[in-house]
Structure 1
Amino acid sequence: MITPPDIDLTEPAPSRLRQIVTSIAHGLRHPTLRGLAWGLAAVPVVLLIYVLALIPFTPSINDLRKAKAAKPSVVLSADGQQLTVFSRANRDWVPLAEISPHVVNALISTEDARFYQHRGMHLQRTASAAMNTVQGKVQGGSTITQQLARNLYPEEIGRARTMTRKIKEAITSLKIEAVYSKDEILETYLNTVPFLYNAYGIEMAARTYFDKTADTLNVLESATLIGMLKGTSYYNPVLNPERALQRRNTVLGRMVRHQKLPAEQLAALKQMPLKVDFERQEPELGPAPHFTQQLRRWLIEWADRNSYNMYADGLVVHTTIDSRLQVMANEALTRQADKLQTLSDADWAQKSGWTAKGAKRELMLTFVRDSAEYKAAIKAGQSDEQSFKELAGDVTFMQKLREDKTRLQAGFLALNPSNGHVMAWVGSRDFVIDQFDHVAQARRQPGSTFKPFVYGAALENGSRPYDGFMDQAVDIAMGDGSFWRPSDGGGPSGAPMTLREGLVYSKNTITAQVMQIVGPARVASLARSMGVRQSKLDEVMSLALGTSPVTLREMVASYGTLVNDGRYVPPMVVTRVEDRNGQVVEAFQSAVAETAMSTAAANMLLDVMRGVVDQGTGAGIRSRYGIKADVAGKTGTTQDNTDGWFILMHPQLVAGAWVGFNDNRVTMGDRWGQGAQSALPMVGEFFQQAIKAKVVDARARFSAPDGLSKQAPPPGLEPLPLPGAPLAEITPIEPPLGSAVTVQGPQGGAPTGMLSPPPIKYVNIQILPAAPAPAADLPAMQSPPPRAVEAGTQDAPRELPVLQMSAPRVVTEP
């Protein structure tokens, strides 16, 4: 021990501290033999204290027991089918008995010949490795148990070449030997060791490199895989076959040395080629990959809150998905989207659409300049002209760019309207290609599928399906001197129409007039109440035609509110979580239904939407798919056929589909891009198969009476037949104030732009003076605009307003 000079204990503390430091410095400059001896004796004590201090920072025995019994979480459908497994890595655990003995022999011979003799550490080998490391010769000295410690606890132990890491690794290996048997250590090691290409464990490695199972590996294949463990990238048999061959032969030599392989076979075996049969092993996605990815995020948070490990605690998650409906949804979406892709490819063909003159070529030029390759060329100093010319002339680049930009996408969702249970969820055409979820993540303009909110708000406000309007051109002041003129594909017919027909035939001119009656604030409020609760709705008049982007999940849930008598139930995906022993950890119930609109208005609106399927834009459900069940729905198409929508309601199931391109600058063709042609077939085929398989009862009926929206008006508002001149002879009139006029439409036949003859119109109209227009920032109903009102009603007059609105982009649907 170093003898310091005497310390005066009567001195103040700071003074004593200076004396101690001075004495230690003196002792180090002038050591004595006794001091050196005490110093050397203190080294192991200090080392022991350091080791003891590190013990709390290594995995506990309890942690090791949990790791020993680790079991990934399993996700099941409502009918008990496995949807996916949440494991930490892409591995398939196999028992030691199902692993080729050649693998075990090669591992022990190469990595740890005294594996069965030591208790976690090979002291002689560890000391030798430490001496070589001090001399600058890096040498591994870890046993199989120490390597397992690193594999099991990479964060706690790490892989840095430090003394601290080696001590923590040694402590953990001793603990492992106390908990695991030797065979369990081997089994765990071989099932957790990484082999590149997202393959963990010997089973996945055998499939990846040799297209066989672990129990069928021969001695050469076993030696190749075990040889990789020294450096998986360096000895990768796919990219570095010569190194892998040399390393394999080294492993064979060690097997001979340790008497695990007959020496007379070595020479012949070394001459054999590798014979790698490589195939990357992708994780099992299951039938609903987008759904399970959404569920994974939820389960991570749930497990953290409840102190569970979703990768190791063997949780069993029971979901609402019906595996039969999920398969039907997958097949319907894939089949119909493939057909549409063929049409899209023809529209965007290299010669006719991609490089020809016109708007598509201009869009193609934009895509080239938006590409990472173009930006990299500009950054490297090339001119715009040179960069563009080189890329445009690269056939491979241009073909890939076209395929990426013009790959059609789709989303599909089905749920039970009574309890919100999600029954089927398809987020894209192919999860491997497009992991973006078009059910819950994508926000797209809903087009005419948003119109039911407008008509629902009107019905809640006292309007009735027989209320009369004129299908005529509408000019709506934008507030800046310009006008918005919402129109339909075939132009206005000039004929009187009812509110019901406005929705059945998806007439933009009628919808705009209805929107003027109720105002955007009420429409947005109803949409939120019914289920559009995550997306922002712009409270402008053009909202009536679906200009605010929303998700498919919100829209399908909102339509479910209609079926549920106007009561909203949030979508639900999990019913219960069980532990590994089958005990229920937490059960979940459907949320209490919230009243979004009156039952009377909901039933009236739903019955109007029966007409969409029976005679309107959704008639293909009956004619093409032969569905005779009690159903109602709505199509939707946004401007230039950018988005196609269709949602169909059944008493037991509501399903909707969206179709479009990820880049909304790419649009669908006029022949096939409308919702009735693009999205409706997916929903139609799905329902057709669900009814055929009797998963859905074709005899089920809505609570809304059939024909409710076709009831006659009250006495005093007598309907008149539609005799008279052809449509072209109808001319605008400006009758004097207070007079009653009769408007006549064509006799028989369908007016221009209509799908079928309209029923009787209510045309007895009285012209009243105009009232002051409302302030721009007030709801439309607070101060009535100039109007025409129906004569002869018993109730308050129904208003047919002069329209005013401020609108961004307009959507249309024939």
Structure 2
Amino acid sequence: MAGAKARSIPAAVWHGVRHPTRRGIALLFAALPVLLLVYVLALIPLTPRIGDIRKARIDRPALVLSADGYRLAEFKEVNREWVPLAQISPYVVQALVATEDRRFYQHHGIDFQRLASAALHTFSGTRQGGSTITQQLARNLYPDEVGRAPTLTRKLKEAITALKIEFVYSKGQILETYLNTVPFLYNAYGVEMAARTYFGKPAAQLNILESATLVGMLKANSAYNPVLNPERALERRNTVLEQMVKFGKLKPADCAWLKRQPLGVDFEVQTEAPGSAPHFAAQLRRWLIGWADRNGYDIYADGLVVRTTIDSRLQDMAMRALAWQTGQLQEVANAAWNTRTGCWPGNSLFQSFIRQSPEYRNARGAGLSDQAALRQLATDGQFVDALCHSKTQIQAGFVAIDPRNGDIKAWVGSRDFHDEPFDHVQQARRQPGSTFKPFVYGAAFADGAQPSDTFVDRNVAIALKGNAVWRPTDAEPPTGRPMSLRDALAFSRNRVTAQLMQRESPARVAALARAMGVRESPLDTVPSLALGTSPVTLKEMVSAYCTIENRGAYIEPRMVTRIEDREGHVLADFPAARPEQALPSAAALKLVDVMRDVVDRGTGTDIRTRFGIRADVAGKTGTTQGNTDSWFILIHPELVAGAWVGFDDARVTLRSDYWGAGAHAALPMVGAFYDMAMRSKVVDARAQLEPPREPVRRTVRASRPRARHHFLFWSF
């Protein structure tokens, strides 16, 4: 019985639809507003909350500060500079209201009169928008929640959000927020960036023509862009001027004269200022996004204050030292690579550069043979110069870490962040050459070896898999005499180091290197690992050298000490990592003492003779085969710093055994940095390594006059 009644209900409804009565029609029309109201109420929870709207009006990007309180960076989601309404030309506001929403000051988010007019025009075949400035702001602020699809649901959500915005903000705040959030192409968000991009001036100085041009772009950024489509932009600008006349913001006579004026564009793309530690900031941003996601924060809106370990003084010194040394080396590179030497079509390496270019691929795609494409491009002087320049730019990385707590004090990832955002501290993996040797000697000292132990300096042949044989060589012929481990490391002897590696085993040395700090790069457990054939990062190597100074205890490098909210309340503390003993303390002390000899009388003596550094320091140079990579790392009780120098394309070198060596390419950068740091007393020149120096040290090579160094360095 009940089932029969249930089946009869749809039938009755369908009958009513097919044969409507006047009473049924009246009930339907009466129910429509109720149904619409119910639907609107159901959509309210799907729109942004009042609390979210309150927070959304003002950008609060995360602020990154150095350890000494200086601004390093701001993490903005887009390239925008928020300016108050008082710093925006009144012509912009007048043009905006006259063109986009003439009853802006009379409605409360929805202009029902304009909405009805738009509906009539749409039904008559001429589509017309009915959105107010507040509704447009709702779309700009909440593209995901509101959406842009031409549906009833979207329009209702937009209207609900607009009403909420009007409830929270004043009319002035709505205009300010709107003008600071609208996009203008070329990564310019907001009227301030638009004014700088298109007219080379701040928004406060925009005249009536410039204001009308920018407001005209709001209808369609690309179609009315004064750079891409100047004719359409001029037409649209004049339409805005006519609207200003129509609503009493401009006199007709003035409008007639203004419409005859050119656009007057002064175009320049605005790039975000990189800050004083851009590569460090880029790495920090990745870390901070992960932390914020895990803890429910937004790095672009919650006003986080991130206090880092960077010392702004040391950062500045590192940037200056890197700029100076790479500038010197670039002159050497330019002499070695020009259209008469390396960058000429007869050079097989340069031919390979040509073959890798998009111009070569286009030429082959057009049907030219390999030789014809090479000949055509080789005769294009502009192409050859540009290709040569791009391939032969010296690059470098520099990082300094406090060995006592792992704090990163300076980080320079390349010569220029805009030209080369690739980070040669954290991202680049290059062969470390002889800077890897301390791991071999550290393993030996851990096994009980003494610095005075000797190996015969002789030719060595080490059998490898597949009947291969490895024969390490040195620049000097073998002496056939015993050489101590102290001397072998000080003078970076490959033959002795290879014999020591045989005794310790590649697997043991690789394990020690990983424990000491080389924790991300894979290490090949082969005999040649002793000479640094496995690529690693500069950050890993400097971190591992901190372990040497820290009595063999590894401390993970630290970037951040604390995160606060914008009121200064601490959200998270990040203490120094717990030390992990990687190398026995006694072995680390022996290694430090032996590495002193590198700078006192070995391959790193320029630290003493050229830069006049008398502080108690130790270090190691490194140069890879063919002078492809140059390294130097210096240990001081308060700071361990290292530099890498080379080219992004490992096939390119300085083509000089002198300039390509770590002692002459990378060491000067580190030496200049320490000289500045000690002279300014940021680093204590009196601090002593452990074990303390012996009362009488081995003879140090005679010093060159320090005045030469100052002339060389400070001349940049």
Normalized against structure 2, the TM-score is what?
A: 0.94
Q: Greater shift after overlay, 322-331 or 376-385?
A: 376-385
2:662 to 668, 672, 675: 675
Q: Is 644-653 or 225-234 further displaced after alignment?
A: 225-234
Of 222, 225, 248, which aligns to 1:259? 248
Which of 688, 695, 699 aligns to 2:686? It is 699
Letter in 2 for 1:624: R
Query: What does residue 229 of structure 2 align with?
Result: 240
Which is helix-richer, 1 or 2? 2
Indicate the SS of the match to 1:645. Answer: strand
The aligned amino acid for 2:230 is: P
From 414, 426, 431, the counterpart of 2:400: 414
Residue 420 of structure 1 deviates from its aligned partner by 0.4
Q: Which residue of 2 aligns with 1:687?
A: 674
Distance 1:353 1:666 in 2: 9
Tell me if the contact between 2:599 and 2:605 (Cα under 8 Å) persists in the aligned partners.
Answer: yes
CA distance in 2, matches of 1:681, 1:411: 13
User: 1:9: which partner in 2?
Assistant: 2
Q: Does the Cα contact within 8 Å between 1:449 and 1:636 map onto a contact in 2?
A: yes
- Spell out, residue by residue over 1:186-209, the C-alpha distance to the aligned partner (whole angstroms, 9 max, x if none): 111111111221111121122222
Q: Which residue of 1 aligns with 2:714?
A: none
Q: Does 2:128 match 1:139?
A: yes
Residue 485 (structure 1) aligned with residue 474 (structure 2): no
The Cα of 1:135 is off from its aligned counterpart by 4.5
- Please state whether the residue corresponding to 2:418 is helix, strand or coil: coil
- Classify 1:324/1:69 alpha carbon distance in 2 versus 1 (closer, same or farther; 3 Å): same
> Does structure 1 residue 320 correspond to structure 2 residue 316?
no
Aligned twin of 1:741: none
Aligned equivalent of 1:663, options 641, 644, 649: 649
Task: Report the equivalent of 1:475.
Answer: 461
Task: Tell me how far apart the structure 2 counterparts of residues 98 and 609 of structure 1 sit (CA, whole Å).
Answer: 60
Structure 1: where are the runs of 5+ without partners? 1-7, 712-749, 757-814
Q: CA deviation at 1:511?
A: 0.3
1:525 corresponds to which residue? 511
Cα distance in 1 between the residues matched to 2:559 and 2:395: 24
Structure 1 position 375, deviation (Å):
3.4
> CA distance change for structure 1 residues 332 and 176 in 2, over 3 Å: closer, same or farther?
same
Pairing 1:64–2:64 present = no
> 2:218 matched to which residue of 1?
229
Structure 2 vs 1, CA of residues 707 and 515 (structure 1 numbering), >3 Å: closer, same or farther? farther
The offset of 1:508, in angstroms, is 0.2
Superposed CA deviations along residues 671-726 of structure 1, whole A, max 9, x for unmatched, are 31111111111111111111111111111111222249989xxxxxxxxxxxxxxx
Structure 1 Cα separation of the partners of residues 368 and 505 of structure 2: 54
Given that 1:640 and 1:668 are in contact with CA atoms closer than 8 Å, whether structure 2 keeps it comes out as no
Q: Is the 8 A contact 1:500 1:709 kept in 2?
A: no
Spell out the pairing of 1:153-172 with structure 2 (5 A cutoff).
Answer: 153-172=142-161
Equivalent residue letter for 1:126: L
Letter in 1 for 2:691: A
Partner of 2:291: 302
Shift of 1:388: 3.5
Moved more, 145-154 or 51-60: 51-60
In structure 2, give the amino acid aligned to 1:366: S
Give 1:385 deviation, angstroms: 3.8
Q: Do 1:604 and 1:709's aligned partners in 2 also have CA atoms closer than 8 Å? A: no
Does the CA-based 8 Å contact 2:59-2:82 persist in structure 1? no
Q: CA deviation at 1:51?
A: 2.2
Q: Is the 8 A contact 1:157 1:165 kept in 2?
A: yes
Q: Which residue in the other structure is 1:201 paired with? A: 190
Match of 1:551 in 2: 537
Contact (CA 8 Å) 1:607, 1:708: kept in 2 or not?
no
Cα distance in 2, alignment partners of residues 467 and 134 from structure 1: 97
Amino acid across the alignment from 1:305: R
Bigger drift between 266-275 and 677-686 goes to 266-275
Q: Give CA-to-partner distance per residue, 1:748-788, whole Å, 9 cap, x none.
A: xx9xxxx99xxxxxxxxxxxxxxxxxxxxxxxxxxxxxxxx
Tell me, yes or no, if structure 1 residue 604 matches structure 2 residue 590: yes
Amino acid of the structure 1 residue aligned with 2:668: P
Secondary structure of the 2:341 match is: helix
Alignment-mate amino acid for residue 451 of structure 1:
K
- Rounded Cα–Cα distance in structure 2 between residues aligned with 1:381 and 1:124: 63
Taking the aligned partners of 2:123 and 2:41, their CA distance within structure 1 comes to 24
Q: Which 10-residue stretch deviates more, 341-350 or 128-137? A: 128-137
**Residue 479 (structure 1) shift:** 3.8
Q: CA shift at 1:246, angstroms?
A: 2.2
2:332·2:654 contact (CA, 8 Å) conserved in 1?
no
Give the letter aligned to residue 278 of structure 1: F
- The answer to whether the aligner puts 1:33 opposite 2:19 as a matched pair is no
Q: Deviations over 1:350-372 (max 9, x none)?
A: 12112264xxx212222222233
Q: Name stretches of at least 5 consecutive residues in structure 2 with no aligned partner.
A: 703-716
Listed one character per residue, the Cα deviations across residues 484-524 of structure 1 (whole Å, up to 9, x for unaligned) are 11001233233321111110000000100111121112211
Tell me how far apart the structure 2 counterparts of residues 331 and 136 of structure 1 sit (CA, whole Å): 66
Residue type matched to 1:9 in 2?
A
CA distance in 2 between counterparts of 1:354 and 1:161 reads 57
CA distance 1:190–1:221, shift in 2 (3 Å): same
Q: Deviation at 1:333?
A: 0.8
Distance 1:67 1:10 in 2: 55
Q: Find out whether 1:287 has 2:280 as its counterpart.
A: no
Is 1:604–1:708's contact at 8 Å kept on the other side of the alignment?
no
Q: Give the structure 1 partner of residue 141 of structure 2.
A: 152
* 1:638, distance to aligned residue in structure 2 (A): 0.7
Letter paired with 2:456: M
Q: Tell me, yes or no, if the aligned pair for 1:607 and 1:709 is still in contact at 8 Å.
A: no
Give the corresponding residue for 2:162: 173
TM-score of the aligned structures, taking structure 1 as reference length: 0.83
Residue identity in the other structure for 2:661: Q
Q: Displacement, 1:615? A: 1.0
Letter in 2 for 1:141: G
2:558 to 569, 572, 593: 572
Contact 2:345 2:351 survives alignment (8 Å): no
How far apart are residue 611 of structure 1 and its match? 0.6
Measured after TM superposition, the shift of residue 376 of structure 1 is 4.3
Tell me by how many angstroms 1:24 deviates: 4.3
The structure number with the bigger radius of gyration is 1
Task: Give the distance between the partners of 2:300 and 2:494, measured in 1 at CA.
Answer: 52
